[in-house]
Structure 1
Amino acid sequence: MQEKILLRNKIRTLKRQFTQAQLDELSLSVERKVISNQRIINADIILMYYSLSDEVNTHSLIDNLLSQGKKILLPYVIDEENIEIREYNGPYDLIQGAYGIMEPTGNSYCNIEDIDVALIPGMSFDKDKNRLGRGKGYYDRFLKKIPKTYKIGVCFEFQKQDNIPTGKYDVRMDEII
């Protein structure tokens, strides 16, 4: 557990070396990779995340995919351990929720087994597609409910490590962008 805390602190320090404009610029190349990913192109229903300022910016990506006719789903924090998934209908559909994250006000999405692809943020990912989150376990608990969904970890290049510490509850990604 201590190893995870140290790595999170290391990644936070790395992020602080960039201005917001630089992070936004770095986000553009990640967005291009996502948009051209065959899994995304073929997907009808995509679980995404509405990015915080220190994450790969997904705001325009979400609206771009929505305009292509994709059904976009975003997490909504319902308590200290769980998220539910809600439909995203556009930027007017967001309110500030838990942890300062913008969350959708749309209807809860119950057919979670129909999700084709999940784009998942992380503090760090490694060459074995392990993910280090922010430490609350929301995504790991939710992803266990959709084992057949293709999971893509999304991060900046500087967040990638050779190895990250993992535990028995951590969910591995299928791909890292």
Structure 2
Amino acid sequence: MTPDLASQKQALRERLRFRRRHFVANLDPMGRLAAFRAVPDTLRKLLDASPVVGAYAPWGDEPDIRPLLLDGRRIALPHHADRTAAMTFRISDDGDALRKGPWGSPQPPESAEIAHPDIILCPLVGFDRHGGRLGQGGGHYDRFFAENPAVPRIGIGWSVQEVDTVPIEQTDILLDAVLTEQEYIITGDRL
């Protein structure tokens, strides 16, 4: 990555984290509770056809999508053995206590069953309507997506995280769709 692109992405991350933090802080309790509870039919069909759904445990002001997934599906969450290990997914049953991962984010314990998700619902810092995704900057999801190209990729974020264009480099993998509290945006032709 060129230094200019790296600094451009970092500046955008900072701006979008600020925007997300203030948006979530100003949501009324009922608005926050209602967000991400209704699933569009097209996404519901994808989820229903997926025995294992890759999701995430929200961290900070990321949207909490767990309630919409708790209907008998097997849920797999990202897991990092340490800061140098590749991201894997492990089954997280309702009763499983999550542990703090290497970066402080919640993850299943090391003893949880390794899983291979049939669809991925991933958090993001920013997105555009072309499938561009700006993540935390570690490239973990992009590497997982590159190794599993057939798995549908759905970004999850607040509407205020949308930008006109996410700066993209060769290793960035585009999303197939994005779900916000306001709409479901199909960004490619794979779904």
TM-score if structure 1 supplies the norm length? 0.85
Superposed counterparts of 1:1-177, under 5 Å? 1-20=6-25, 22=27, 25-26=31-32, 28-33=34-39, 37=43, 38-62=45-69, 64=70, 68-81=71-84, 82-105=86-109, 106-109=111-114, 112=116, 115-177=117-179
Stretch of structure 1 that moved more, 86-95 or 68-77: 86-95
Q: Post-superposition shift, 1:175?
A: 0.8
RMSD: 2.2
Which structure dedicates a bigger proportion of its chain to helix?
1
Contact 2:36 2:65 (8 Å CA) reproduced: no
Question: SS state of the match for residue 17, structure 1?
Answer: helix
Question: SS state of the match for residue 173, structure 2?
Answer: coil
TM-score if structure 2 supplies the norm length? 0.79
Per the alignment, do residues 8 and 156 of structure 1 end up closer, same or farther by CA in structure 2, a change over 3 Å counting? Answer: same
Partner Cα distance (1:132, 1:31) in 2: 24
Aligned to 2:189: none
Per the alignment, do residues 42 and 131 of structure 1 end up closer, same or farther by CA in structure 2, a change over 3 Å counting? Answer: same
Per the alignment, do residues 168 and 121 of structure 1 end up closer, same or farther by CA in structure 2, a change over 3 Å counting? Answer: same
Partner Cα distance (1:96, 1:164) in 2: 29
Per the alignment, do residues 130 and 19 of structure 1 end up closer, same or farther by CA in structure 2, a change over 3 Å counting? Answer: closer
Partner Cα distance (2:32, 2:53) in 1: 22
Per the alignment, do residues 36 and 147 of structure 1 end up closer, same or farther by CA in structure 2, a change over 3 Å counting? Answer: closer
Letter in 2 for 1:40: L
Q: Post-superposition shift, 1:80?
A: 2.4
Per the alignment, do residues 141 and 108 of structure 1 end up closer, same or farther by CA in structure 2, a change over 3 Å counting? Answer: farther
Partner Cα distance (1:35, 1:90) in 2: 24
Moved over 4 A (4+): none
Structure 1, unpaired ranges of 5+: none
Per the alignment, do residues 21 and 60 of structure 1 end up closer, same or farther by CA in structure 2, a change over 3 Å counting? Answer: farther
Per the alignment, do residues 79 and 23 of structure 1 end up closer, same or farther by CA in structure 2, a change over 3 Å counting? Answer: farther
Q: Post-superposition shift, 1:58?
A: 2.6
Q: Post-superposition shift, 1:70?
A: 1.1
Letter in 1 for 2:99: I
Contact 2:126 2:134 (8 Å CA) reproduced: yes
